[in-house]
Amino acid sequence: MQKTTKQRTNVDWFLTVLRVASLAVIAAGFAAFVAQLIDSDNPFARWANPDAISLTGEQFRGLVVTGLAQGSMYGLIALGYSMVYGVLGFINFAHGEVFMVGAMTGAITSNKLAESGYWESSFVVCLLLVVVLSMLVCTITAVVMERVAYRPLRGKPRLIPLITSIGVSFFLQNCVLALLGSTVKSYPDLPNWLTDKRTFLDVQGSKILVVLVAATAMVALWYLVEKTKTGKAMRAVAEDAEIASLMGIDVNRIIVKTFAVGGAMAGVAGILWGLLFRSVIHTTGFLPGIKAFSSAVVGGIGNLGGSMAGGLTIGVAESLGPLMILEPLGVSGPSQLRDAVAFAVLIIVLLVRPSGLFGEQLPSDERT
């Protein structure tokens, strides 16, 4: 966006300093971490943090797998942000709450199934059922949201739908609070082969399941977007809504479908949250929503493959970042700062590379 002919102002210098400084902090933290790995008495590592404890290989692997599992969940949520931004050019802030609605649906249905005993006897069937139900509820939520809150705002200044979506977000959150109460809803126990570490590569089975489910959903989405007529229409609308409508595409219908698909992906992600964390309350959607948005930005907003990759990046950064960057720098209690790290990643990415790592794909009128 910056023109070379433009004079560099103080703000530009400040931004450059900030970019360099943030990257330098990351580099320093990482260097201290590596130095410590090589030799725990290394003077640089001692200087950075006198009482640092280095990670063992097992811990490291555990963190990476956790990061990947969470990251694939973020990636699925990010698809919703990315697709809507690609088509309509605004951030659907309430998408995180759609995800929460999915996780809630999952908690309620899986508990009902557990009460009747099916959850244990035929887990896979039950899980499929729960995923399908959650996708359904989330799709309905997303479509109703589009219809009631966003459709009347087509063509308004871009911040208007954004502000509306903030309202929708807090409305949905508190609807769930008012209807379902403020207690934590937990998922029933998972079967042993999912909680046991020994099933595969010393990694918890549930995390592998999460990655597998996310991968399946992603492949299905890829098929939908790349190989079907609806997908073609979606891409056309994302490319240029006006021209698409001239080509005989019902733009409103495609937008509804986009919301529906995004909602369905959020529904899958909600169940993945349930498998990973096993409990959900009405505020669950906020932080994963923000992190998923960061993922979409990191991957380049509007770029679906990028969103998934961005999700994995954010997930791994969030789980490794505090222990690899902050701990070696002598920050005490680094795991408390996990969420701050996620926000910091978003800010740094927007500072250093606002178009994302894999390039953004925006509607024609948003391109600059």
Partner 1 sequence: MNMIEALTAARPGSGKTRAAAPARRRLLDQDWRRLACAGAVLAVGQVFIALTGMPVTFDRRLLIDPILSLGYLALLWLPPVVGNWVGREQVLEGMAAYAKGGRDVVAGAMAGLLGNLGLTLLVLGITHFDVRDPLVHWSPQLLGILEFDQSVWLGALVWPAIGAATGALGGAMHWMGDKTARTMVLALSTVFAAAVLESVIVDLSQGFHIEAVSDWLYGPQRGLTLAATAVIVAVAVAASAGFSWARAASGRTAPQASAQPDAAGAGSLPAQTAWRRIPARKLLGWAFAPAAIIVLPLFLGRLTNELLANVGLFILLALGLNIIVGLAGILDLGYVAFFAVGGYSVAVLTSPGSPRFDPEIPWFGALFAAMLLAGLAGLLIGAPVIRMRGDYLAVVTLGFGEIIRILLLSDWLSGTFNGAQGITNIPGVEVFGLATVRGFEPRSVLYLVLFFCAIAIYVSWRLENSRIGRAWMAVREDESVAEAMGVDTVSAKIMAFVTGAVLGSFSGAILSAKVGSVFPHSFAIIVSIVILVVVIFGGMGNIAGVVAGAVVLIGVLGGPNQPGLLQEFAEYKILIYGALLVWMMLQRPEGLIPSARRARELQANDVNQDAWLRAQPAGRATDDAGGTSDRGRP
Could you list the residues that contact partner 1 (CB under 8 A)?
A: 1-2, 9, 11, 14-15, 18, 90-91, 108, 111-112, 147-149, 151-153, 155-164, 166-175, 177-181, 286, 290, 293, 297, 331-334, 336-337, 339-340, 343-344, 346-347, 350-351, 354
Q: In whole angstroms, what is the distance from residue 22 CA to residue 323 CA?
A: 17
- Paired with 185 in beta bridges are 280
- Residue 168 carries which side chain, given as an amino acid letter? V
Nearer to partner 1, 47 or 170 (CB): 170
- Closer residue to partner 1, CB minimum distance, 172 or 209: 172
Q: Cα(232)–Cα(238) distance, rounded to whole angstroms? A: 10
Q: Which is nearer to partner 1, 221 or 297 (CB)?
A: 297
Q: Is 305 exposed, middle or buried (0-12, 13-18, 19+ CB in 10 A)?
A: middle
Long-range contacts of 240-247 (CB under 8 A, 24+ apart): 240/363, 240/364, 241/87, 241/363, 241/364, 242/364
Tokens (6 digits) for 108: 């309620």
CB of residue 351 vs partner 1: minimum separation in angstroms? 6
132 or 351, CB closer to partner 1? 351
Nearer to partner 1, 125 or 160 (CB): 160
CB of 245 to partner 1, least distance (A): 13
Q: How far apart are CA 78 and CA 304, in angstroms?
A: 9
Closer CB to partner 1, 96 or 205, in the complex: 96
For residues 165 and 206, which CB has a smaller minimum distance to partner 1 in the complex? 165
Helix (H) or strand (E) holding 278, with range, is none
Amino acid code (one letter) for 343: F
Rounded CA separation 186/139 (Å): 23
Nearest CB to partner 1, comparing residues 192 and 368: 368
Q: What is the DSSP letter of 203?
A: B
Q: Give φ, ψ of 280 to 5 degrees.
A: -150, 140
Least separation, in Å, of the C-beta of 292 and partner 1?
11
Considering the complex, what minimum distance in angstroms separates the CB of residue 359 from partner 1?
16
> Least separation, in Å, of the C-beta of 220 and partner 1?
28
Residue 331 amino acid letter: V
Q: Which long-range contacts (CB under 8 A, 24 or more apart) does 339-342 make?
A: 339/287, 341/317, 342/287, 342/290, 342/291, 342/294, 342/314, 342/317, 342/318
Measured CA to CA, the distance from residue 292 to residue 342 in angstroms comes to 10
Q: Where are the beta strands (DSSP E) in the chain?
A: 185-186, 279-280
CB of 241 to partner 1, least distance (A): 14
Specify the residue, 230 or 283, whose C-beta has the smaller distance to partner 1: 283
In the complex, minimum distance from the CB of residue 192 to partner 1, in angstroms, rounded to a whole number = 27
- Shortest Å distance, C-beta 198 to partner 1: 35
Give min distance, CB of 174 to partner 1, in A: 4
